[in-house]
Structure 1
Amino acid sequence: MFKISPDETLKIIQELYEKKLVTYPRTDARVLSTAVAKEIHKNIGGLRNLSEFKPFAEEILQSGSYKNIAKTRYVNDKQITDHYAIIPTGQGFSALKSLNPTAAKVYQVIVRRFLSIFYPAAVYQKINLTAQTPTGVNKEGQKYLENFNAGFKVLVEPGYLKVAQSYKKQKEEAENSDENINVDINIIERLKKLKKNDKLCVADWSIKEGETTPPKRYNSGSLILAMENAGQLIEDEELRAQIKGSGIGTSATRAEILKKLVNNQYICLNRKTQVIMPSQLGEMIHDVVGLSIRPLLNPELTASWEKGLTYVAEGTITGEEYMQKLDDFVRRRVYAVLSLNNQSVLRTYFEQISENYKK
């Protein structure tokens, strides 16, 4: 959103926490506890002291929507290990002036996301239109009919969007809102009058050409999400369930993992766009591991280790049994690598990789 690295984001959140603007930052949770839900009106009430958020905070308090928050999906004690989700404290506003512009924007995002949960869902009206037109005649004199489909949606009730959207976006939409609303209403009213087999006049034809595009490169933010949701790549349902909610690393370590990969020159990070690309060294290491200890590249290995730790916690196996299996895995893999004779294969891989990095 702001083109900042996960490591910098953590530092900003830590600064906000130390200035008493937000709650404890090093958490994996995305929900609140029932205890916090009972006192949540205090956080909301405090935000009335910020002119930008005063109307939203007052509306929430007046409507009483916060009173039933404990019964929603935003509150779940079972999904909290140590700390609940990051939310604004409703205090510490004297420190806002000392924040740099980026930190101030991050704080605003946290506040908007927090206030959004007390608003209803946005409501859209979806319109689908299928039209047929003759495109030719066959030998029997029958017309060829071609189907043309059109669809769009119109925002009926903004719900949480009126607080979740950024000020800049709200301003831009406000400038064009009258025109957009009128056009949408006119279209909807005319479409309501249409019936099956009605004939429409074709005003114009145009052909839009396009090409399929490859997936976008990872940036620091999307790679963090990929690490968090690494379990989605696992086919085995039991193992996938085991790694669900944990993934690769934790919320406190994923940023540091990326930072280490960059510092070791295994990946290249564009500081301006936060786009991540592999380095030549990183590709070489990937191929070495893939041709020697391939399970290390598969999240299923992490899931199986997590499964073993769960068994230890449940008392199904002892800690000594778990460590013995882990030690056995390491020994077998190390001996297998020592007996490999794949230098020529690796050299071929390296030569192919180097072709992509010639200056």
Structure 2
Amino acid sequence: MNLVIAEKPSVAQSIATVLGATKRQDGYLEGNSYIVSWCVGHLVELATADTYDERYAKWEYADLPILPENWQYSISKGKEKQVKILKELANRKDVAVITSATDAGREGELIFRLVYEKIGCKKPVKRLWISSMEESAISEGFKALRDSTYYDALYQVALCRAKADWIVGINATRLFSVLYGQTLNVGRVMSPTLAMIVEREAAISAFKPEPFYTVLLDCGTFILSCEKLTDRQAAEDLRKACDGQTIAIHSVESKEKSEKPPKLYDLTTLQREANRQLGFTAEQTLSYAQSLYEKKLVTYPRTDSRYLTSDMSESTPAVAKAAAGIFMPKNLEPSIFMEQVTDNGKVSDHHAIIPTMNIQDCDLYSLPFGEREVLLLISLRLACAVNESCKYEETTVTAIVSGAEFTAKGKTILSEGFRGIEKSYHAMQKDKQPVEKEKVLPSITTGQTFDTKAMIKEGKTSPPKHFTDDTILAAMENANNALEDSERKGIGTPATRAGILEKLIKTELLERKGDKKTKHFLPTQKGVSLITVLPEAIQSPQLTAEWEEKLKQIEHGLLSPDSFLQEISQMTKSLIRTYEVIKGSDVLFPSVQEAIGKCPRCGNDVIENQKGFCCLNKTCGFALWKENKFFTAKKKKLTKTIAVELLKNGKAKLPGCYSEKTGKTYDAIVLIDETDSKYVNFKMEFPANR
């Protein structure tokens, strides 16, 4: 028998169907010489600090640094039953081989290996490595199983990354929390990401807008403009000199140009595009893409490649035609140039994200809103990427007036190419902003004269923009551009960056602000204070990027995990030995806990802590938890403002609630529901003018 271990029950079900393992048992499926079981995410994880010594249960400065010599592992809380099932299955006498079928990536490898080690299994292991959950891909994957030792380096780098994060996270979080008297979460990737956002907000706050002036010449059917001027008087003098003059066109230049189709999506570019176009967070996009993968509608999403491999050149055109068919009239045949998207040298573990052939039979509007929109983006990108370039003629008209050069530019589309498919997509999205029309100039010849009216257009320089999911992902991806010969740029990985952003919000170091679609990140006062006291070594994006580079070297066998972890440990020791509390930090981290209201049950003060708003009377049990299903289902957070209102009036306005059914938002009023004597529940009312 072959014991196949998948990462999730849904994936196991798909694999079992292909293998013919149809007999359902408790925690696994069996049949046709296969047993198919599953993990449920991370079943085994690095043990907590107090596992090594009971005294570590309390956070004490004297106990730092905590640097395990012999790493220990524990079963994740609530997942003991599935680990027991896997151990019993692996020890069955009729099981001769184990097949690892967890997600084909760094984390998937770690999930399987830790379970394999924990259950003490010694049987040989094969590895299933696929990029699609289609039946044909699963079937072909089982014909090409590799010995698991081929992926040993991938496991080592995954384990090394987890240990490095443990060392930095445990020690630095305890150090700064103890020294400053409150929980301050510090992380190897978290802290540099927060530092970039804090630095951006400081630049915005310090920005002073400067005025500029542009002189425009209205020629009736088009407008000429000069270079921006910073001196108001100079602009006014030029306007007077030009106003009312009859000008002659000095030159008309037309050039044929082309715009290449966009590359296919990797995870980061998909997340960025979905944030720009749809307002989805990075985590939402990853969740939607993962669900589409498990539904066999797209290929593996956690990829950092934007190309396909040459062996896909025969099968992909049919998928591209099906994708283009979503947007193009049925009687039109799309152009397909596979060489534009094929490059074996630029594909590492997984190729770019594309739809599968199953989209041709998919009822788009039966999918949840978020999944449908992400599938449309992925399909659109494939249809565009294999299509022709957009060809256009760019015309530049120049006139010399009173010694100044004035220009006007226009663009005429000669062949839409991939832009035609994009236009069809935007036509489908009726509630989205229309595509900006190209600026077309009238027919103009050199020497032609025009009567003009001069005017001044005033403007101001703009401050840097707040980081959005889109732009912070780009900043994380390119954090180490300064590094020479860098193979992997950035901090974090495509698969982990979304989780880092959400953890920063969960630990109250960041918050999202803005309207329904365009939200940006702002550091909280706690976040700004933390970056103020963190040393450069912890908050430096470049140092973290160098660590990411070394992890990649470990994956390629160019660096030993021990030497990398020794460097991390040495830095941690140095940090604890040399760090001194910043003077005046009591202003940054006030210790007095402010009451936000009175407990409706016992009348004691309610204070805010990391997880919620709790009654000071421990026996009362009243608490408004920040993370609760009622609010998260509506993509809302129980903020301090809402908690204050609920405690004061028993109700609070809750605008912009998300409907999972329609994908739209609505306004409501939330009320505390005390029908349950133990837990605080909520119910909703709707405004009369809704």
Report the TM range for the smaller structure's normalisation: 0.7 to 0.9
SS at match of 2:457: coil
1:119-134 → structure 2 map (5 Å cutoff): 119-134=387-402
Match of 2:333 in 1: 59
C-alpha distance in 2 between matches for 1:158 and 1:46: 20
Provide the TM-score with structure 1 as the length reference.
0.75
C-alpha distance in 1 between matches for 2:344 and 2:503: 34
C-alpha distance in 2 between matches for 1:24 and 1:316: 27
1:200-239 → structure 2 map (5 Å cutoff): 200-232=449-481, 234=482, 236-238=483-485
Distance 1:296 1:88, change over 3 A: same
Is 1:115 aligned with 2:383? yes
SS at match of 1:213: coil
Match of 1:268 in 2: 511
Match of 1:102 in 2: 370
Distance 1:157 1:319, change over 3 A: same
SS at match of 1:270: strand
C-alpha distance in 2 between matches for 1:165 and 1:39: 26
Who wins on radius of gyration, i.e. which is larger?
2
Going by fraction, where is helix more abundant, 1 or 2? 1
Q: State the AA in 2 paired with 1:88.
A: P
C-alpha distance in 1 between matches for 2:550 and 2:457: 54
CA positional deviation for 1:89: 0.9
C-alpha distance in 2 between matches for 1:317 and 1:251: 22
CA positional deviation for 1:309: 4.0
Distance 1:122 1:170, change over 3 A: farther
Match of 1:4 in 2: 280
C-alpha distance in 2 between matches for 1:231 and 1:267: 23
SS at match of 1:4: coil
Going by fraction, where is strand more abundant, 1 or 2? 2
Is 1:249 aligned with 2:507? no
Residues 488 and 552, structure 2, Cα contact 8 Å, conserved in 1: no
Alpha-carbon displacement from aligned partner over 1:237-281 (angstroms, at most 9, x marks no partner):
24xx2542xx12122111111111111111111372321111111
Match of 1:299 in 2: 541
Match of 2:358 in 1: 91
C-alpha distance in 1 between matches for 2:377 and 2:560: 46
SS at match of 1:230: coil
Distance 1:166 1:7, change over 3 A: farther
C-alpha distance in 1 between matches for 2:540 and 2:474: 17
Q: State the AA in 2 paired with 1:329.
A: M
CA positional deviation for 1:167: 3.5
Distance 1:248 1:310, change over 3 A: closer
Match of 1:80 in 2: 347
Residues 293 and 301, structure 2, Cα contact 8 Å, conserved in 1: yes
Distance 1:162 1:315, change over 3 A: closer
Distance 1:335 1:42, change over 3 A: same
**Structure 2 gaps, min length 5:** 1-276, 591-640, 642-690
Residues 4 and 274, structure 1, Cα contact 8 Å, conserved in 2: no
C-alpha distance in 2 between matches for 1:22 and 1:306: 28
Match of 1:42 in 2: 318
CA positional deviation for 1:75: 1.6
Match of 2:259 in 1: none
Q: Which moved more, 1:219-228 or 1:303-312?
A: 303-312
Distance 1:84 1:38, change over 3 A: same
Is 1:149 aligned with 2:407? yes
**Structure 1 gaps, min length 5:** 135-144, 352-358
Residues 47 and 53, structure 1, Cα contact 8 Å, conserved in 2: no
Distance 1:117 1:217, change over 3 A: same
Distance 1:124 1:45, change over 3 A: closer
Provide the TM-score with structure 2 as the length reference.
0.41
